[in-house]
Copies of this chain bind each other. A is one copy, B any other.
Amino acid sequence: MTPRILEIRKGVLDKNDRLAADLRARFGQAGLFALNLVSSPGTGKTALLERALGRMIERKLRVAALVGDLATENDARRLARSGAPVKQIVTGGICHLEARMVEAHLSGWDLNGLEFLFIENVGNLVCPSDYDLGEDLRVVLLSVTEGEDKPLKYPALFQSADSAIITKVDLAEAVEFDRAATHQNLQSVHPGIRILETSAKTGQGLDDWLDFLVEQRRRNVEG
């Protein structure tokens, strides 16, 4: 990139950081725990979220979701079936969400009435890494079908995440998934990262994940 583009880009990121800090403060005051889900396209963010929203509604947790997409509103329709409030953010071709997009889509929602907000980013292992959305937890998803080398090939996003979820583990055997190599590659780019394994199909790992989120929120609210 040219120095001029780098300079403008820095300005955009600084502005995003300021807005994200404002959002984080608003979420904190409302006792709302916000998550930013990032991954490659097809890793299964929407499928996991679909299961998670359904289970959280059963557990009487007050949860909402924002889902980012370049062009369609399909995901919001799919997720709204859970009964949770859901809005789609259509980026119009932009390959990541930005804090201003999140902020613009919160209108009409009473944040004090919510405990959890999931923000599903655009499917992309590069663009979302620099954009803070005001989240409390950034979760990177990686499916067993994608190949063990992805953390090494897209290090910035994996380094920017607070925890990792390996998805579609019901397919692990069919794709000859190398669990040890995947964990090792994740740990090598992000030492100490917490890794969970899930299957949206069988529900494996879902309750563990939700228990973890409930505990994280409790610490935030009490802390």
Contact stretch, chosen from A57-65, A146-154, A210-218: A146-154
Interface centre among A4, A42, A156 (most CB of B within 10 A): A42
Q: Are A71 and B126 in contact (CB under 8 A)?
A: no
Binary flags per residue of A128-170, CB closer than 8 Å to B gives 1, else 0 = 0000000000000001011101101111100000000000100
Q: Is A56 an interface residue (CB 8 A)?
A: no
Q: Which partner residue on chain B sits nearest A142 by CB separation?
A: B42
Q: Is A50 an interface residue (CB 8 A)?
A: no
CB contact between A152 and one of B42, B74, B127, B153 (< 8 Å): that residue = B74
CB distance from A79 to the nearest CB of B (A): 13
A126 and B155 CA atoms in complex are apart in Å by 18
CB distance from A196 to the nearest CB of B (A): 19
Main secondary structure of the interface of A (DSSP, over half): loop
Q: Is A12 an interface residue (CB 8 A)?
A: yes
Q: Are A125 and B126 in contact (CB under 8 A)?
A: no
Q: Which partner residue on chain B sits nearest A174 by CB separation?
A: B174
10 more A-B contacts (CB under 8 A) besides A71-B153, A74-B153, A143-B145? A5-B5, A8-B8, A41-B146, A41-B147, A95-B124, A95-B126, A124-B124, A124-B125, A126-B127, A174-B175
A/B interface sample: 5 pairs, CB < 8 A = A1-B94, A41-B147, A42-B143, A70-B153, A127-B127
